[in-house]
């Protein structure tokens, strides 16, 4: 059960990162196409924990960063709990 909840929180963190990245993509390339969307997908896959910081620093919208980092913390805690209860 802990492992499923851990994965759920990781998915929420990744979704928050991709939401922030899509907002950044719209700001940089208003007429984005397939190439920009694909490049943004791969760059965000590497740096998804850092991307939510941009809206917070740039415009003061910290909600995505808070959701991303809180979900990562809960994902790690629940993942460790799942590993501890299996042994």
Q: What is the pLDDT of residue 72?
A: 95
Given a contact cutoff of 8 angstroms between Cβ atoms, the answer to whether 76 and 28 are in contact is no
Question: What is the average pLDDT across 69-79?
Answer: 95
Cβ contacts of 86 within 8 Å, gap of 6 or more = none
Cβ contacts of 13 within 8 Å, gap of 6 or more = 48, 49, 67, 68, 69, 71, 72, 75
Q: What is the pLDDT of residue 25?
A: 84
Total number of domains in the chain: 1
Q: What is the pLDDT of residue 37?
A: 84
Residue 14 lies in domain: 2-86
Q: What is the pLDDT of residue 87?
A: 55
Condensed to tens digits (0 to 9), the pLDDT of residues 15-71 reads 999 999 888 888 888 888 888 888 888 888 888 889 999 889 988 999 999 999 999
Q: Is the pLDDT of residue 12 over 90?
A: yes
């Amino acid at each position: 059960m802990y492992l499923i909840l851990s994965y759920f929180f990781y998915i929420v963190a990744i979704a928050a990162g991709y939401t922030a990245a899509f907002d950044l993509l719209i700001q940089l390339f208003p007429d984005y196409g397939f190439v920009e969307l694909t490049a943004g997908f791969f760059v965000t896959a590497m740096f998804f924990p850092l991307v939510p910081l941009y809206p917070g620093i740039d415009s003061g919208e910290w909600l995505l960063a808070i959701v991303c980092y809180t979900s990562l913390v809960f994902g790690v805690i629940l993942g460790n709990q799942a590993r501890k209860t299996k042994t």
